[in-house]
Amino acid sequence: MNIKILFEDKNILVIDKPSGMVVHADGKNKIKTIADWILLNYPSLKNVGEPMELRINNEDLKIKRPGIVHRLDKETSGVLLIAKNQKTFLFLKDQFQKHKIKKVYRAFVYGFVSDPRASLLTGKRGVINVPIGRSSKDIQAYTAGRGAREPLREAITEYIVLDRFIDKENYKEENKTEYQYSYVEVYPKTGRTHQIRVHMRYINHPIVSDPLYRGNKDLALGIKRLALHASSITFTLPDGKVKTVESPLPVDFKKVIKTYLA
């Protein structure tokens, strides 16, 4: 596994997670994970963090998550924060729980997203403040608003529109809205599972090529995976300094920008 390190000191490791890799095992499938890479390259992190406890086929399992403080979906690329000792793990976990860590994502979504109304409270950012729960129709999915199963959890996502464009290579006048897309920057204020994906679908602009939430829309823009990238993360180091780590845009994102936005 070729994993790029974006930042490292004695307490913290930040890596550039490639799309297509899961962060840790699920107890069912035997595939290479980010956790495997950590254990191979940083064996001292074996007991750092908190294992995930699962019960599968009447067997209790503990899934190792060495130093992993948060996660990204399998197809999401970008910055992933890892603690190198238990004290730092708890320090970072506290920041996540208190919503002090700032995460920024980039995404391509279907349709033209309208510019949010400016306000003194949110500036020019759009705000999606809708609780999220398990979908009543699909055990793998989550949903916001009607159709979400209890318990519902607070979820807040802010966003801005960076650009809008049309896929002119496949454009057909009679179905022109099908070839409209937006490039957005997204700021999750809470950390619910699939939050950005669910909230973008909630406002009728699902993320391009999302395997779970795009509905009957086709794969698009030459992107064959979820078009979501964790572009930066800002957190406080144990010495009190604030640190921002950025991940460069992946090749598939750059290709779309060059083709449609250059």
Contacts of 130 (CB under 8 A, 6+ apart): 144, 145, 155, 199, 202
State the CATH class of domain 1-98. Answer: alpha beta
Q: Which stretches of the chain are DSSP H helices?
A: 34-41, 86-97, 195-202, 251-256
Q: Read off the pLDDT of residues 4-34 as tens digits, 9 standing for 90 and up.
A: 999 999 999 999 999 999 998 765 667 789 9
**E strand spans, 204-246:** 228-236, 242-246
Q: Which two tokens stand for residue 94?
A: 């506290």
Question: What positions carry a catalytic annotation?
Answer: 73
Tell me the average pLDDT across 174-201: 93
pLDDT range class, residue 1, cuts 50, 70, 90? confident
| N- to C-terminal Cα separation, the chain | 32
Q: Is the peptide bond before 238 cis (omega within 30 degrees of 0)?
A: no
* pLDDT at site 194: 97
C-beta atoms surrounding 183 within 10 Å: 21
Instruction: For residue 47, name the pLDDT band (cuts at 50, 70, 90).
Output: very high
Q: Which residues pair with 123 in a beta bridge?
A: 119
pLDDT value of residue 10: 97
**What was the pLDDT predicted at 137?**
86
For the four alpha carbons of 112, 116, 157 and 155, in that order, the dihedral sign comes to: negative
Which DSSP category does 68 fall into?
B
pLDDT in tens, 125-156: 999 999 999 998 888 899 998 888 999 999 99
**From-to residues of CATH 3.30.2350.10 in the chain:** 1-98, 102-232+249-262
Burial class (CB in 10 A: 0-12, 13-18, 19+), 105: buried
Model confidence over 58-112: pLDDT tens digits?
666 777 899 999 999 999 999 999 999 999 999 999 999 999 999 999 999 999 9
What is the arithmetic mean of pLDDT over 163-191?
A: 88
Burial class (CB in 10 A: 0-12, 13-18, 19+), 239: exposed
| DSSP label of 257 | I
What pLDDT is attached to residue 145? 84
| pLDDT band, residue 254 (cuts 50/70/90) | very high
For residue 189, pLDDT over 70 is answered with: yes
**CATH number listed for the domain at residues 102-232+249-262:** 3.30.2350.10
Whole-model pTM? 0.93
- Helix and strand counts by DSSP (H, E) for the chain: 4, 14
- Whether 228 shows a pLDDT value over 90: the answer reads yes
